Amino acid sequence: MNQNLILLLLVFPFFGFLFNVFFGKKLSEKISGSIATLSIFIPFIITCYIFSFLLSNPEAVKIDFFNWIQVSNFSLNFGVLLDQLSVLWLLFVTGIGSLIHLYSISYMHNDENFHKFFSYLNLFVFFMILLVTGSNLLVMFIGWEGVGLCSYLLIGYWYKNQDYNDAAKKAFIMNRVGDLALLIGVFMLGYHLKSLDYTTIKTLIEAGALDNQEILISSIALCLFIGACGKSAQIPLYTWLPDAMAGPTPVSALIHAATMVTAGIFMVTRLNFLFDLTPFVQNIIAIVGAITALVAATIGLLQNDIKKVLAYSTVSQLGLMFLALGLGAYTVAVFHVITHAFFKACLFLGSGSVIHGMHGEQDMRNMGNLKKAMPITYVTMLISTLAIAGMPPFSGFFSKDEILLTAFHSNIPLWIIASLASIMTAFYMFRLLYLTFFKDFRGSEEQKKHLHESPILMTLPLIILAILAVIGGIISLPGNSWLNNYLSPILSKEVHAHHLGTTEYILMGLAVLGGLIGIIMAYFKYIKSKYTPVSDAEITGFNKLIYNKFYIDEGYNAFIVSPINSLSNFGREVIEPLLSKTIYLLPSFIQKMGNEGKKAHNGSIGFYLFIFVLALVSITVYLFVIAQQS
């Protein structure tokens, strides 16, 4: 394959970024936005080409550009690795990325920093491409931190609002907790294998380089997993993601639903040969994933902010993906990553369309009956909601069912937790749908007058994503999975598809039934009975606990953030002056002698002190020298 072609994958988004940084301000929105969109769409075309090439020729392509980092026992190239996994990720990163760029042209219309938004978005895609194509862990880490930076910039995009800035900062710092763990894992891996290059470490590990070092393998895998927890918002590092909804909605769709937050899953899948060696860490991953799925789904049940519901739903779905990873079902996790990218991007963009139509309103208590005014938004969101609720034949049904199936075969408690989370998902997603699109309109008269369907630039991506949300399941149909075959070269363990027997069909039926129960419950609660919005202050009891997200943020503040800040104050007020006094004892003794000298002469104290010390120095030297000579 042509090396330059691959380089173009990175060049286009990067130059798109530079272009909008330097010239965007002078250009019209149309030109600035189109260039940014093209900078992502062209790489999508290239990716399609590479993908078709890879289908006929399943050999991975590895290209090194130059020697980057060198330490004592290994050196790393700045290079890319294009194989089944990275190209798959590239496809939906650039594909969904293009759609979201297109959508943003209309969504961000008349924003004062329009060009900046697009430059950040391009930069994000650039780093995301680097993250998935990097040929070693450190190039991935550039992308990893780079997307974190863009996430920071875009969450705090409306930087005049300090709450948004707080959310941006929180996302960055919380991610850094994971990053430190990731780095530690990288250090241990690098030290013991003398390389961080994927192909090299894969060969080494498969050849048994880490055999019989269970503690080492487990620590490495655990550290890497903690890193993944940060980026992919798993317990205990998930609280940044709901706050990240402060950013413009297309950002939430692209970064905080479809692409960046799946980086952790990408990394674990990429290093499947390592994680396969440590059942201990795999168990932890599965448990953390399942619990995250359940906790986030619980919180999602009662949120009133339309984007917050989607955010918790994302955390919950990511949890399900980690559950699959922990069970060693990498293909299943990747499958859900892809279908989730379709329907969740569609849902976020749909919510953006709603927010756009409602002139910035995000509280579902003030919505209702939007399906008449916004039919396209309604239908596309309905399809995606059915998909996420796991209703056949939508894509989410297949991927979620695979996860549940895998869980059932390995660990019944985890299956129960995941099923519960799924039922809740169906409930809160239909709650969202009902509150937004059904019954009476609850907003202001002003809002009602201006209600409108979004322009074509916004609805077109919605329609495309909704179609994908419907048909996305075909890439891995039960019993005949294309994805399994496709991904088999990058997996070290053979994937055996589930045999479709009676148990499987019963489980499928149960899953659908569970989803239906959730939907019906939502129907009775929000359609059949009268819905009266409850203000924040009126929420009491257990509901209040859930509504306030189990007070996890407050806990982090009370037990981590505040103590550090108090310590800082204590250091400034108490420790520093104390140290200053004690440590100066010696010099002040000298100074006292200096002051004696000052009495004898009048003039610059500094000069005399200097002479004094110089004399002292000379005398010392001279004494030693004399002693030496005699």
Partner 1 sequence: MTITLLLLLLLSGSFVTYFSGDKWASKIALLFSILACFVSIALLINFQNGADLNYNAIWIEIPKIYVAFKVDGLSMAMVLLCTLLTPLIVLSSFETNFKNAKSLYALVLFMSFAMVGTFISEDGFLYYIFWELALIPIYFIALLWGNGNSDERKKAVIKFFIYTIAGSLFMLAAFAYLYQKAGSFLLSDLVALNLSNEEQFWIFLGFFMAYAIKIPIIPFHTWQANVYEKSPSIGTMLLSGIMLKMGLYSVIRWQLPIAPNAAKEYIDLFIILSLIGVIYGSILALRQKDLKKLLAYSSLAHVGLIAAGCYALNQDGLSGAVAQMIAHGFVIVGLFFAVEIIERRYQTRMIDQLGGIRTMTPKFASQFLILVLASVALPGTYNFIGEFTVLYSLSQIDVLYAIFGGTTVILGAYYMLKMYQNVMLGESNKTPFKDVSPTETIVMILIIGFLLFFGIYPKPITSLIEPSIIEIVSQINR
Q: Which residues bind partner 1 (CB under 8 A)?
A: 66-72, 78, 138, 141-142, 144-146, 149, 152, 156, 159-160, 162, 165-166, 169, 172-173, 176-177, 179-180, 183-184, 187-188, 190-191, 219, 564-565, 567-569, 571-572, 576, 579-580, 583-584, 586-587, 590-591, 594, 605-606, 609-610, 613-614, 616-617, 620-621, 624-625, 627-629
Neighbours of 569 (CB within 10 A): 9
Neighbours of 56 (CB within 10 A): 6
Residue 68 vs 547, nearer CB to partner 1: 68
Write the CA distances from 482 to 53, 93, 244, 471, integer angstroms: 17, 20, 35, 14
Residue 467 vs 605, nearer CB to partner 1: 605
Report the nearest approach of partner 1 to the CB of residue 601 (Å): 16
Total H helices, total E strands in the chain: 29, 2
> In a 10 Å sphere around its CB, with 0-12 CB exposed, 13-18 middle and 19+ buried, how is residue 424 labelled?
buried
Which contiguous run of DSSP H or E holds residue 47?
Answer: helix 29-56
Report the nearest approach of partner 1 to the CB of residue 625 (Å): 5
Cα–Cα distance between 34 and 572 in angstroms, integer?
A: 52
Sign of CA dihedral 431, 432, 436, 438: negative
Sign of CA dihedral 5, 6, 9, 14: negative
User: The tokens of 569 are what?
Assistant: 């104050």
User: The tokens of 548 are what?
Assistant: 């306030």
Residue 208 vs 606, nearer CB to partner 1: 606
User: The tokens of 628 are what?
Assistant: 């030496």
Report the nearest approach of partner 1 to the CB of residue 425 (Å): 33
Cα–Cα distance between 13 and 464 in angstroms, integer?
A: 22
Which contiguous run of DSSP H or E holds residue 183?
Answer: helix 162-193
Report the nearest approach of partner 1 to the CB of residue 97 (Å): 21
Cis peptide before 236 (omega within 30 of 0): yes
Phi, psi at residue 63, to the nearest 5°? -130, 130
**Owner of token pair 């487990």:** 218
Residue 45 vs 616, nearer CB to partner 1: 616
- For residue 155, which amino acid is it? I
Q: Where are the beta strands (DSSP E) in 468-536?
A: none
Give the pairing type, strands 75-82 and 61-70.
Answer: antiparallel
Report the nearest approach of partner 1 to the CB of residue 214 (Å): 16
Report the nearest approach of partner 1 to the CB of residue 342 (Å): 30
Report the nearest approach of partner 1 to the CB of residue 81 (Å): 18
* Three-class SS state of 492: coil
Residue 200 vs 591, nearer CB to partner 1: 591
Report the nearest approach of partner 1 to the CB of residue 614 (Å): 8
Residue 471 vs 625, nearer CB to partner 1: 625
Residue 237 vs 251, nearer CB to partner 1: 237
Residue 506 vs 560, nearer CB to partner 1: 560
Residue 70 vs 535, nearer CB to partner 1: 70
Report the nearest approach of partner 1 to the CB of residue 23 (Å): 14
- For residue 252, which amino acid is it? S
Report the nearest approach of partner 1 to the CB of residue 238 (Å): 17
Residue 524 vs 584, nearer CB to partner 1: 584
Residue 25 vs 450, nearer CB to partner 1: 25
Report the nearest approach of partner 1 to the CB of residue 217 (Å): 14
Q: What is the radius of gyration, based on Cα positions, of the chain?
A: 29
Residue 500 vs 625, nearer CB to partner 1: 625
Cis peptide before 58 (omega within 30 of 0): no
End-to-end CA distance of the chain: 80
- For residue 602, which amino acid is it? N
What is the DSSP secondary structure assignment for residue 136, as one 8-state letter? Answer: B
Report the nearest approach of partner 1 to the CB of residue 160 (Å): 5
